[in-house]
Amino acid sequence: MSRIIKKLKIANLQEALNLVWDVFLEFEAPHYNDEGIQEFKSFIEYESIKIKLQENQISIWGCFYDENLVGVLATRPACHICLLFVDKSYHRKGIARSLFNTMTEYYRTNTDYLEITVFFLALCSRSVSQIGI
């Protein structure tokens, strides 16, 4: 199997959002109340993300095994990770790490950002890495 990570275009967007939603429902939704689940669903709504992608308000990377999308990482401006999901069949295979490393390298070489910020359960944020360290 060959693994390829690349920035996603609108052509892959629905597939990416379907993967995000499926993984969210299985692994994250049990930790949310109904309002939180609806808020997340609203955040990943296709038209909203499509506009953000077109206006460079979000960047999305996908990991493909052969031609199957198996992982998604998305960032908002200022290097804020807003989505990181991997298909359950591909857990523990280094997909999230590969996506993270690809995104980190992109920001290291294309921007002046010094920190990467991640929101866990959409409630608390913390810095998880400084680029270049």
Q: What is the CATH number of the domain that holds 71?
A: 3.40.630.30
Count how many domains the chain has.
1
Average pLDDT over residues 90-117: 87
What is the rounded CA–CA span in Å between residue 130 and residue 133? 6
- First-to-last C-alpha distance (Å) of the chain: 31
Determine the pLDDT at residue 120: 53
What pTM value is reported for the model? Answer: 0.85
Domain that includes residue 123, residue range: 3-130
pLDDT of residue 59: 96
What number is the average pLDDT over the span 29-47? 95
Confidence band, pLDDT 50/70/90 cuts, at residue 127: very low
